[in-house]
Amino acid sequence: MFWMNTKRIVKYGFINFWRNGFVTLASILVMTVTLFVIGSLIFVGAILDSSLGQIKNKVDINVYFVTTAPEEDIISLKSSLEQLPEISSVEYVSREQSIEEFKTRHENDQLILQALQELDDNPLGAHFNIRAKETSQYESIATFLENYQASGGTPIVDKVNFFQNKVAIDKLSSVISSVDKLSFGVIVVFMIISILIIFNTIRLAIYTSREEISVMKLVGAGNFYVRGPFVIEGIMYGVSSALIALVLFYPVTIWMAPLTENFFGGANVFNYYVNNFAQIFVVLVLSGVFLGGVSSYLAVKKYLKI
């Protein structure tokens, strides 16, 4: 009996979907706009994440060693750092590489180059370029380095430049945290607005069937049987709208790709659309099903009280 009723509910839901042509079209248009906005927020979030990721990759701290630091102690420290869960990468630059990089940076400054030639020894020590997985982790890494001593008990770290860059790193951490909170807040607000708009649109569709609902209730139909076709109809609105939104995103992302790539430094929105199509499809379809189903469920509730 249950399966027979479920089959009828689905059947009547499909019938209502095709029968109410104008209302169906209006509902789908409203939901398409809503899902397009939700999808746009996904792309905006991806672009921001990509841009922030590029900024994060440019942020690091440098550890400079005293010129007398034994290379085996430096290598040992590098191994210890790479074991820390906060560390993303550690680049070791030897004393010889440091002086060559210094000469390259000042190749047009003959005065500095002549001064170097007059020195008997390389004045530069080795150094590390360290990147953390999160910008908030740099302070703990810097503290670890400041307190580090080699096996002989002799300090080998001359300077850690984190504290000179601390203001910029803290600002970046604050921006990342604010963007995450703002994105979540915007999505929640749009979801609430969407439910209200779709609720009223679907309520208009159900209003045209209010007499039919009254008759069904009078002859003893249960709430599940009465409400079911409208919920199915709402779900179909959501699925149809999600598919339309996905189709619309194809030309839009092609058009936006050069703009995002040039302005945001490599964030190609069309490539993101193609590479993450399955995830975007699932998010939009599930959002459409949720919005359509919940809105229909709530909208028909008024007419069940007879």
What is the tens place of the pLDDT at every residue in 66-118? 878 788 888 888 888 888 888 888 888 887 887 777 777 767 777 776 766 76
Against a cut of 0.75, is the pTM above it?
no
Residue 247 is predicted with a pLDDT of 93
Give the domain ranges of the chain: 2-55+172-304, 60-164
Residue 46 is predicted with a pLDDT of 79
Residue 290 is predicted with a pLDDT of 86
Q: Is the dihedral of CA 293, 233, 226, 196 positive or negative?
A: positive
In DSSP terms, which residues pair with 194 in a beta bridge?
A: none
Residue 248 is predicted with a pLDDT of 92
Residue 246 is predicted with a pLDDT of 92
What is the rounded distance in angstroms from the CA atom of residue 197 to the CA atom of residue 211?
24
Distances (CA, A) of 181 to 13, 49, 174, 256, 289: 39, 13, 11, 25, 26
Distances (CA, A) of 229 to 12, 206, 304: 6, 11, 13
Residue 11 is predicted with a pLDDT of 65
Residue 1 is predicted with a pLDDT of 53
Note the CATH number of domain 60-164: 3.30.70.3040
Residue 60 is predicted with a pLDDT of 74
Write out residues in the chain with pLDDT < 50, as ranges. Answer: 306
